[in-house]
Structure 1
Amino acid sequence: MPKLLPAFLAAPLLMTATPVLSQEVQTIPDIAQALLDEAYKTQSSDEILAVTKAVKAVFPDYANQIEAQSGEKVAALAPPPPPKDTKNASPKTVPARGLFAVSPWDGKIQASGLLSTGNSENAAVGIAIEAERGTKKLTHNLKGYFDLGESNGVTNQKRWGAAYQLDYNFSDRSYAFGRVSFDEDEFSGFDYRLFTGLGIGHYFAKSEAFSWKAEGGPGYRYSPIDETSEVDESFAVYASNEIEWLIREGVKFEQDVTVTWTSPTTTLQSVSSLTTQLWGDISTGLSFEYRYETDPPLGRKNTDTIAKASLIYGF
């Protein structure tokens, strides 16, 4: 009898383990499988997952088998990722490659009527363009303008210029830049002015509603003087402060101030503008430009102002 006792005690344990072992190899009950099969026919991942959850709640002993089977069905319904096609992709979606492989230009063209005071006192017309394009690391900035005024067949205002700046972005807010600009104003006393320089800039605020950045650095300015034929060429320091404020949808205020210092003279330029969207890419704008020269050529005024009303096309 003592030898039979261990076997007698082990029998209930074996009987208890038998259903567990058999459940692991049992198939899903017919009624549960029938419900799942109907869900699979819909070819809908959401439908399959909903039915799977319900069947698992009714047949919890078969949850693992049900989950594995339904998972395979849902995975089979997932579409394969589309092949990459950079050959026919839009320029805006093609990834940048190389130093000058950058996204399309973004900017504006404006035609203006203007009133000037200072070295030129007259009404005139003008056209200007601003454009920008860039990658995460590089940003190209272009500006150009041309103003022309006549009275009784005599030109009494003619000024034009262009500037190019390349920014190298250290981060989302800080960058280094190289800049070159050319300005010619027949009534300023200077034949023309050429500036080139380097520097750093930083955005103190940067959002769609409000942005504020300042930049500056050393450079060189070359300025031939009309009447004396002298050349004012010297070390220069350039600084700029730019603010953009979206007052409300379609209405934007901008304030740009630039200063170029040299030992012979310092030039300050301030432009305040208010732009209102008419429809689509068309806007109207009002602006006021103030320019001050600390030591202008002999016989020239220190101050010039230009008030503009513009029609603007954004691109």
Structure 2
Amino acid sequence: MKTAVFVFCILVSGLISCKVAYADWVEMKNGDRLSGIITGTENDKLIINTPYAGSIALSWKEVKTFETDSPVVVSLSDETTLKGTVTPAEDGRISLRIGEILETVSFPLEEVRSINFKPAPPVQTKGRINAGVNISEGNTQTKTYHLDAEAVVRTVKSRYTIGGELNYEEDEGEETVDDALAYLKYDYFLNGKWYLFNNLTLEKDEFKDLRLRSFAGAGVGYQFWESELSNLGIELGVSYVNEDFEEANDENYAAGRWAVNYDRYLLEKIIQFFHYHEGLMGFEDTNDIVIRSRTGFRLPLSNNFLAGAQFHYDWDNSPAPGMENYDKKYLLTIGYSW
């Protein structure tokens, strides 16, 4: 008898735990319904943690209604902040049960600005450093070294970025690659999305006859997303370009600049895809085009270490005489992030 009672209690407690663990649900405008734990909103997405697919980000515009079993903090467009459990109401609205007296407030979904919003710390820092080495000896004697790094400091209104790259190769004791890149950028946010920027980039490549290319400029950017899971920003501005060659005639010109910076975690933060693209086009001579592109994947390992695979593509539409227009690099790296 005692055994039966014990088993019954275990079953009941298990059922109660399952109900408590996954009592929230969301109904989409197309009729789909998901159950789990609603953790909040992020980048115009409602995040629900499901027992069968992990965290799922749902477009807020496609949410019809939802319900929570535990209290959540709801911020409205008029700066009002309320805390309570959400219950469904008529289409396009939700109700919030507030406090022990269960006072109910109803409002349209479009008035909700955020759910369980977590203010960012006043200063945030992040960065990474990656290295790749390949040394072959015997019948083939080659040495390849790569290093890239970037650090970002973010406050509510400002973002500071510094980074660089180094590449060096030898084949049978002779240098075949020797290039370096360094960049600085400052962004001032006018609001949560739009920002103004200043940037400076320095680049040298011995095997492109390029002693130093420098360009500095300013412009405007728009940050579509900025979070731990995904980031997307675009920029448009003007720059002044100075090219100092070893043998060819030096050049300087004003140019338009554009840039795209995108990264996103895939498969529940198992792997991160990234793509950076930056271009310059001269105002006086539109054949003066320079493009720098970095695309790849980062695989987080333990203790902030990560593995990476990168593809670098650089295009110079008007290279020094006798030089190729493009350079390609395929890289495998090991790095550290913070």
When the two structures are superposed, what TM-score results if normalisation uses the length of structure 1?
0.63
Q: CA deviation at 1:280?
A: 2.1
2:298 paired residue number: 275
Q: Partners of 1:296 and 1:305 in 2: how far apart? A: 15
Change (3 A) 1:133 1:108: same
Written as runs of structure 1 = structure 2, the 5 A alignment for 1:61-100 is: none
Q: CA deviation at 1:123?
A: 6.0
Q: CA deviation at 1:250?
A: 3.0
Matched to 1:273, the amino acid is: G
Q: Partners of 2:189 and 2:151 in 1: how far apart? A: 18
Q: Partners of 1:234 and 1:111 in 2: how far apart? A: 34
2:57 paired residue number: none
Q: CA deviation at 1:167?
A: 0.6
1:131 paired residue number: 151
Structure 1 residue corresponding to 2:164, chosen from 144, 148, 169: 144
1:247 aligns with 2:266: yes
Q: Deviations over 1:264-287 (max 9, x none)?
A: 520112211101111120010001
Q: Deviations over 1:23-79 (max 9, x none)?
A: xxxxxxxxxxxxxxxxxxxxxxxxxxxxxxxxxxxxxxxxxxxxxxxxxxxxxxxxx
More strand by proportion, 1 or 2? 2
Q: CA deviation at 1:238?
A: 1.2
Which has the bigger relative contact order, CA under 8 A and spacing at least 6?
1
Structure 1 residue ranges (4+ consecutive) displaced by more than 2 angstroms after TM superposition: 204-211
Once superposed, what is the RMSD of the aligned Cα atoms?
Answer: 2.0
Structure 2 residue corresponding to 1:298, chosen from 317, 321, 328: 321
Where does structure 1 lack aligned partners over 5 or more consecutive residues?
1-91, 96-102, 116-121
Q: Deviations over 1:75-121 (max 9, x none)?
A: xxxxxxxxxxxxxxxxx97x6xxxxxxx3641001102479xxxxxx
1:110 aligns with 2:130: yes
Written as runs of structure 1 = structure 2, the 5 A alignment for 1:159-178 is: 159-178=179-198
Q: Partners of 1:240 and 1:304 in 2: how far apart? A: 19
Indicate if the aligned counterparts of 2:185 and 2:197 stay in contact, CA closer than 8 A: yes
Q: CA deviation at 1:231?
A: 1.5
| Identical-residue share of aligned pairs (%) | 21
More helix by proportion, 1 or 2? 1
When the two structures are superposed, what TM-score results if normalisation uses the length of structure 2?
0.58
Indicate if the aligned counterparts of 2:124 and 2:155 stay in contact, CA closer than 8 A: no
Q: Partners of 2:313 and 2:133 in 1: how far apart? A: 16
1:41 paired residue number: none
1:83 paired residue number: none
